[in-house]
Structures are given as C-alpha cells and as structure tokens.
Amino acid sequence: MPTIKDVAKLARVSFKTVSRVINDVDNVNPELSARVRAAIDELGYQPNLSARQLRGRPTSIAFIYDNPNSHYIIELQKGILAECRKRGYELVIHPCDSRASDILEELSQLVRRVNIGGLVLTPPLSEMRPVVESLLKNKLRFVRIISGCEPPDALSPCVFVDDRRAALEITQHLIDNGHERIAFLGGDPEHKSTGERLAGYHAALEDSGIRIDPALIVDGSYSFESGVERTRQLLELPQRPTAIFACNDEIAAGTLFAARMYDVDVPGELSIAGFEDSPFSRQTWPNVTTAHQSNEELGRVAASVLIDEIDRLRDKKNDAPSAPEAVGFSPELVIRDSTGPVNEGH
C-alpha cells in the first residue's frame, strides 16, 4: 500500500505539506496542493484514519434515516459515500425509528461511541424541531435534507428541495392536457414533502380556476400497496378522476397496477403522474411522467456541506460565526407515456 512518504516523493514536496493538504489546512499553496492531490490519485493513497483519530480529528460522518423508500436511501447513500471517500472520511449508516421515545439519546450515544464529526439527517428526522434543538443543545454538528422552497431557519446547514414548485408543474401539465378531475394521492403525513407537494397541486388548480374536490385528495403512505388501495377507491367513485397525481413513483406504480385490475386504459382513460424519477417510474409500462431529482447529487452535496462545516468549526474557532450554508434543488418535470390528453368520452 502506498504511504504518505510515497505521495510526498511523487509530488516533490515535504511530508508535512502532504499532511496539511490531506487535513485541509488553510494557506497551502494551490499549486502544491494540486500536485499532492494528483499524486494521491495516481498512487491510490488512502489517509490513515487511525492517525487522524489519535490527533482528535473526526474520522467519519453518519447517515441517519427512517424511510421505507429503498431507492431514495440507496441513491442518497451513494452520493454521501462518494463525497466521504473524496474527503478522507468513513461513512456510518444508521437506520432508526424517528418515532422512538429515546431517539435523541440514541443519536447522542452514536456520536459518543464512534468518532463521528457530524450527522446527515433525512426526513422526517430532519424536519422535527425537537430533534434539531436537542442536537444544537448538545453541540452536535449536522446537516438537514428537507423539503421546502427555502431554508426554514438559520439553525444549521441544510439542503432543501423545492417539491412545491415541481408539484405545481406536474399538476399544470395535467391541466394543460385538458384534465380538471385530477386526484392527489398523498404520502406519509409526517414527511414535509407530502404537504409541499399537496400545496403545489392546490396552487396549480387555483391558478387555473379549477374547483378543489376534497373527494379526490386521499391520504396514505409512500408505498406501492397504498397506491393500489387508494386508486381502487377512486375508481369506485360515480365520477372517476381523469388523472391522478401520486406523491411518489412507488405510489404511481401501484396506481398503474390498480388501473389494469379495473381494465382502465393508461393514458387513454386515466393519466398518471408520479414524483422523484425512481426506477419505479422507468420499469413500468407505460413509463410514468414524474419529477426528476438527483438523490445521489443531493447526498453528495449534503455530505460536502457537512464536512465543510466540520472543518470550518475545527480550524476557525475564534472567528465570528457565519450564517449556515443552505443549498437548494428544484426537481424537473419529465414527461413520459403515462399522461396524455383528456378523453372526453370517459
């Protein structure tokens, strides 16, 4: 295995310079830093995490989640892991139950037990104010991935996703195709994304002067089974919807399955749209209209923001505090074969 001395020799710099570059110490000459990083890449050198731990420096960050959507979690994990490897950190994967009475103590023990520099929090934990306040009280570093058109506050770094605007665009796409009886299938209510996507749906209907029918808004969960059951309810109505906006692609796949059970043509009799551009939207037939969000990039940016914050607080303890970093994402409409013009005969 290559050593730090091998890197120093190849880059034609001192052992100390390599160490400073690896540890992201300020005031390293940019040209020297570039040579060191090129040598690291060429040799495939991995920093010694044990040595870093002995110096009291964090060696890892933790990915905290409570979410049944495996595709979402796997894609986020890939992005976080890629940034950790780039920055010389290990990644601790920690699934949990956000509703557990001892969740705050669980997170505190995790940080104490392992040399963790900070936490990447995902919904619904990232959107629970008591969790955020407890972490701040215990001086734990974290970044929140949340749903919203802007940062909810300045309590911590965050990465926010404008689900509302994307949901408005999806609903508007259905309206532009002549649909007025558009149903909405919600996800788990504790996830803020459900409320944000419902708000976008409402806004599009109101902007077009279409009456909001409460019978077409059905609560549920982010699951295939929920999509099947709630679509069956809608298809039993005396006046069926001509389009369904499902809160994610897994629900939409269940909606498509239920439509086939009832021998309803998609999109001839029923247009279906989802959200997130997960494999569910691409592995069904017809492929599902959706909103694309790169969860892998979301995870990478969240990890980068967290590691930057860890480094800033470690190296500049005496500086005046600056506003926490916030990075926004806007999912983009992807039109596929599951949506089309309203069929006036049905």
pLDDT at position 99, please?
87
pLDDT at position 318, please?
47
88 has a pLDDT exceeding 80: yes
67-81, 100-114, 314-328, 329-343: segment of lowest average pLDDT: 314-328
How much of the chain, in percent, has pLDDT values that exceed 90?
Answer: 57
Exposure on the CB side of residue 215, measured as CA atoms within 13 A = 10
Identify each DSSP E strand in 215-277 by its residue range.
217-218, 243-246, 271-273
CATH number belonging to domain 55-162+294-330: 3.40.50.2300
pLDDT at position 268, please?
95
Q: How far is residue 169's CA from residue 190's CA, in Å, rounded to a whole number?
A: 23
Average pLDDT estimate for 223-231 = 96
Domain 4-46 matches domain 55-162+294-330 at the CATH topology level: no
Read off the pLDDT band of 25 (50, 70, 90): low
User: Which residues lie closer than 8 Å to 289 by C-beta, 6 or more apart?
Assistant: 170, 173, 271, 272, 273, 274, 281, 333, 334, 335, 336, 337, 338, 339
60 has a pLDDT exceeding 90: no
Segment of 101-105, 123-127, 316-320 carrying the highest mean pLDDT: 123-127
Architecture of the structural domain at 4-46: Orthogonal Bundle (1.10)
The per-residue pLDDT for range 267-314, each reduced to its tens digit, is 999 999 999 999 899 988 999 999 998 999 999 999 999 998 887 766
User: Residue 66 corresponds to which tokens in the numbers above?
Assistant: 């409570």
54 has a pLDDT exceeding 50: no
Which has the closest alpha carbon to 37: 87, 78, 90? 87
The per-residue pLDDT for range 129-141, each reduced to its tens digit, is 988 998 888 888 8
104 has a pLDDT exceeding 80: yes
Q: How far is residue 111's CA from residue 204's CA, in Å, rounded to a whole number?
A: 44
Read off the pLDDT band of 225 (50, 70, 90): very high
The per-residue pLDDT for range 169-196, each reduced to its tens digit, is 999 999 999 999 999 999 999 899 999 9
Helix, strand, coil shares, percent, the chain, to 5:
45, 15, 40
Q: How far is residue 133's CA from residue 326's CA, in Å, rounded to a whole number?
A: 18
Segment 11-18 long-range contacts (CB within 8 Å, at least 24 positions apart): 11/35, 11/36, 11/38, 11/39
The strands making up 60-65's β-sheet, listed across from edge to edge, are 90-95, 60-65, 116-121, 142-147, 158-161, 326-329
User: Residue 50 corresponds to which tokens in the numbers above?
Assistant: 């044990």
Place of tokens 């040399």: 115
pLDDT at position 154, please?
87
85-99, 276-290, 329-343: segment of lowest average pLDDT: 85-99
Average pLDDT estimate for 39-66 = 72
CATH of 164-293, picked from 3.40.50.970, 3.40.50.2300, 3.30.565.10, 3.40.50.1360, is 3.40.50.2300
Question: Hey, where are the domains in the chain?
Answer: 4-46, 55-162+294-330, 164-293
User: Residue 313 corresponds to which tokens in the numbers above?
Assistant: 């607080």
Average pLDDT estimate for 207-232 = 95
pLDDT at position 21, please?
79
Average pLDDT estimate for 92-110 = 87
Average pLDDT estimate for 78-101 = 90
320 has a pLDDT exceeding 70: no
Identify each DSSP E strand in 189-312 by its residue range.
217-218, 243-246, 271-273, 290-292
- On the question of a cis peptide bond just before residue 124, with omega within 30 degrees of 0, the verdict is yes
Query: How far from chain centre, in Å, is Cα 96?
Result: 17
Contact call for residues 304 and 89 (beta carbons, < 8 A): no
pLDDT at position 345, please?
61
**Predicted TM-score (pTM) of this structure:** 0.79
Mean pLDDT taken over the chain: 88
